[in-house]
């Protein structure tokens, strides 16, 4: 009976973890496939208040799983977002996501919600300015996206192939 309960608990845990991870990775693939690089560079490539606000807002709205946030951050960096904006997106996605705020309010109340929001924004601001102060390197981005994009037939194939680069598949097919 204990083994059945344990297997049931692990199955439920897998189910509850699987859909946010899948959602986050699918969102990353959509950004990689369908949002032009020059749009990301124009909106998130510089360290301005407008781009930081957009990063935080997009992170809070997307509210992807912690595991998938790394993939999304990698995609944003590859597309030309600055380090500070990428960090702002990732921190807001995991700490100020709408679903997280609803859960904290429902389970812990308004006081914990206020503490969480204040500390999350303090952490976002701190990470943003540390990334600027450390002068993190900018990504090498050309106007058309990543180097292997043009030889693939559809956008999903581009997302999969450009995400897995190796020295063997650098020559055109």
Domain segments of the chain: what residues?
37-145
Distance CA 56, CA 58 (A): 6
- Select the more confidently predicted residue: 89 or 141: 89
- pLDDT attached to residue 166: 46
Asked whether the predicted pLDDT for residue 124 surpasses 90, the reply is yes
- Select the more confidently predicted residue: 166 or 105: 105
pLDDT digits (tens, 9 = 90+) for 14-65: 888 887 788 888 888 888 889 898 989 999 988 889 999 999 998 888 876 7
pTM beyond 0.75: the answer is no
Give the helix ranges, DSSP H, for the chain.
2-34, 37-44, 49-62, 66-79, 83-95, 98-108, 110-133, 155-163
- Select the more confidently predicted residue: 98 or 157: 98
3-state secondary structure (DSSP) of residue 145: strand
- pLDDT attached to residue 147: 42
Answer whether 160's CB lies under 8 Å from 32's CB: no
Asked whether the predicted pLDDT for residue 90 surpasses 50, the reply is yes
- Select the more confidently predicted residue: 80 or 161: 80
- pLDDT attached to residue 165: 52
Asked whether the predicted pLDDT for residue 158 surpasses 90, the reply is no
- pLDDT attached to residue 1: 84
């Amino acid at each position: 009976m204990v083994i059945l309960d344990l297997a049931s608990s692990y199955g439920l845990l897998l189910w509850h973890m699987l859909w946010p991870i899948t959602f986050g990775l699918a969102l990353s693939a959509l950004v990689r496939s369908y949002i032009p690089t020059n749009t990301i560079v124009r909106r998130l490539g510089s360290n301005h208040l407008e781009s930081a606000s957009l990063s935080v807002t997009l992170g809070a709205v997307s509210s992807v799983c912690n595991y998938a946030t790394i993939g999304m951050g990698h995609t944003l960096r590859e597309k030309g977002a600055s380090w500070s904006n990428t960090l702002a997106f990732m921190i807001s996605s995991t700490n100020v996501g709408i679903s997280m705020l609803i859960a904290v309010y429902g389970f812990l109340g308004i006081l914990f919600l206020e503490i969480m929001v204040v500390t999350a924004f303090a952490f976002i601001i701190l990470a943003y300015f540390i990334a600027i102060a450390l002068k993190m390197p900018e990504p090498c981005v050309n106007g058309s996206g990543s180097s292997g994009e043009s030889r693939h037939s559809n956008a999903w194939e581009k997302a999969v192939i450009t995400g897995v680069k190796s020295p063997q598949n650098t020559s055109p097919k």
